[in-house]
Structure 1
């Protein structure tokens, strides 16, 4: 029997039992859709994090009380017990780090912004040193950044994210407008470019004021995050990070051989840690989805066994007319393989659709990985063929005389 003829017969058999075929496909569809959706979302998150972190520049590193990502509660408790990074630490790095081309610092808190009758709660209030927006790669589309003069005089000036302009100022020209940040008046001097959402959380609901003005309102007991730019010269990053680390270790009296009492992170560190965390999540999700594929394969095998029983007389007639064992096996293997491959194709479309829907509703970044589509189809077809071997062999080994006597 030619492969083309066997495929035609397999499709006819599947079409003749449409409802049973659809129900059989569900396990494969759910499994493949789950894998594709998870891989698409994780890949999108990886691309987003890499873009954002690298946006700070490959030559920028940070010094903070605790890392940006913590993968265990025990580590989190350890980091919480550390001393805060204060203004003295910042000034030590700023004044004594010879390999650091530029040094800035930031503090943050949550607060309420009021403009006329409009207000915004749970807004991130940032305390910036001069040129911090530049170091965080924020593009000022209107106005200017916070300057050293603003910092020296604790000036009541503010940069705002696009959410403040859209929701409070309603699109009016923000420059020169006065807003109240937790009751304190500030004059808007700059507007940042819109950044969008991440994991459903807006990245534009913030106001930045000079760090000295921030400390007057909120106090200096909050920990700082120090940003430093090392330059692009060969070995500049290593020299700057080593020097900054030694300066902080001396100031914080870290004993020789003891771990740092602070966290130093580069863009590569953050991307690597996030990739590790997301990779673990992806592995668990794929393992769970694999269970759906196995269940789907078992369902396919069960239905194929039923099909062999129902078509016993048909098999006997084909053998009596000269069909070989290989022809019968090919017919049933193609039937199970076609069924699972079709389920895989539907699952791929459904998985991409689910990922895009999550992106639309929650703002979670998504990026389709082509390898995952081909892998999903290949795995689906393999499941069908693997679980179709036993029913196909059982059909091929039927005695034609016994098969012709069957009542089915």
Structure 2
């Protein structure tokens, strides 16, 4: 029997029992959809984080009181006991670092922004030294950034994110306008390029003011984060990082042999950690999806055994007309494989739709990996063929005389 004829017979058999076929496919659809959705979301998260951190520059690193990623309550308590990194620490590093192409510092709080009768809440209020927008790759699309004079004179000027522009200055040019940051008036001198959202949280709901102005309102005791630009990644960055580590230890009087009382993070460290977390999550979710596929395969095997029983007389007639055991086996393997492949196609579509729905509703980034689509289809078809071998073999071994007597 030709392969084309076998496929035609298999499809006719599946179409004749549409409801049973659909119910049988559910396990495969759920398994493949789970794999595709998880891979799409994990791939999107990794791509987003890598892009976001690389936008800061591979040659930029930070010095802070606490690491940007904390994995346990015990670590959090331990880091909390460290001394704050203060403005004099930053000035000491700024004055003595010879391998720093650029250096800045940032503090932040959450507060309320008011203009007239309108206001925003939960807004990030940032205190920046004048180089910080460039170190964070914040493009000023209107107006200007901070200058050394703004910092030295603690000027009451501000740069805003696009959320502030949209909510408080709709239809009005914000430049030169006044707003109140937790009650303190500032004049807007710049508007940043739209940053979008990260995992559903907007990155544009912020106001930046010169760090000395920020400290006049919120005090000088809060810890700050130092940003350093080395100029190049690799050995140049390592040299700058080593120099900054020595300078910060000196400024904070860390004893020789004692561990650092601060954290020095590079972008590669953060991206690597995040990738490790998402890979672990993907492995767990993939294991769950594999279980769903196995369950779907068992259902396919069960249905194929029922099909063999129902079509015993048909098998006997085909054998009497000259069909070889190999032809019978191929027919049933094609049926189980086709059934699983169709389930895989719907699973791929369903997985992509689920991932896109999560992106739309929760803002979680997603990127379709084409290798995962291919892998999902191969896994589905392989599952169908594997679990279809026993029913197909049983059908192929039927005695034609016994089969013809079946009712």
Is the pair's TM-score, using the shorter chain for normalization, greater than 0.5? yes
Paired residues for 1:204-215 under 5 Å: 204-215=204-215
CA contact (8 A) 1:161 1:205 kept: yes
- Which digits, 9 at most, give the CA deviation of each residue in 1:324-347, with x for residues without a partner? 111111111110110111111111
CA contact (8 A) 1:69 1:274 kept: no
- Which digits, 9 at most, give the CA deviation of each residue in 1:160-201, with x for residues without a partner? 000000011113101011111111111111000111111111
Q: Which residue of 1 is the match for residue 64 of structure 2?
A: 64
Deviation at 1:362, TM superposition (A): 2.2
Determine if the alignment matches structure 1 residue 172 to structure 2 residue 172: yes
CA contact (8 A) 2:58 2:233 kept: no
Please list every run of 5 or more consecutive structure 1 residues that lacks an aligned counterpart in the other structure. none
Distance 1:312 1:229 in 2: 76
Evaluate the alpha carbon distance shift between residue 129 and residue 340 of structure 1 in structure 2; reply closer, same or farther with a 3 A threshold.
Answer: same
Paired residues for 1:9-408 under 5 Å: 9-232=9-232, 235-407=235-407
Partner SS, residue 138 of structure 2: coil
Distance 1:40 1:70 in 2: 26
Evaluate the alpha carbon distance shift between residue 366 and residue 27 of structure 1 in structure 2; reply closer, same or farther with a 3 A threshold.
Answer: same
> What is the Cα-based RMSD across aligned positions, in Å?
1.4
TM-score under structure 1 length normalisation: 0.96
Distance 1:279 1:6 in 2: 41
Paired positions, count: 407
TM-score under structure 2 length normalisation: 0.97
Partner SS, residue 195 of structure 1: coil
CA contact (8 A) 2:176 2:189 kept: yes
Partner SS, residue 91 of structure 2: helix
- Which digits, 9 at most, give the CA deviation of each residue in 1:269-299, with x for residues without a partner? 1211111111111111111111111111111
Deviation at 1:258, TM superposition (A): 4.0
CA contact (8 A) 2:40 2:369 kept: yes
CA contact (8 A) 1:156 1:213 kept: yes
Distance 1:233 1:379 in 2: 41
Partner SS, residue 58 of structure 1: coil
Distance 1:8 1:355 in 2: 34
Distance 1:276 1:76 in 2: 20
Please list every run of 5 or more consecutive structure 2 residues that lacks an aligned counterpart in the other structure. none
Distance 1:299 1:196 in 2: 45
- Which digits, 9 at most, give the CA deviation of each residue in 1:69-116, with x for residues without a partner? 233343333333322211122112111111111110001110011111
Distance 2:374 2:189 in 1: 51
Deviation at 1:348, TM superposition (A): 0.8
- Which digits, 9 at most, give the CA deviation of each residue in 1:6-61, with x for residues without a partner? 11111001100111111111111111111111111111111111111111112111
CA contact (8 A) 1:10 1:331 kept: yes
Deviation at 1:322, TM superposition (A): 1.7
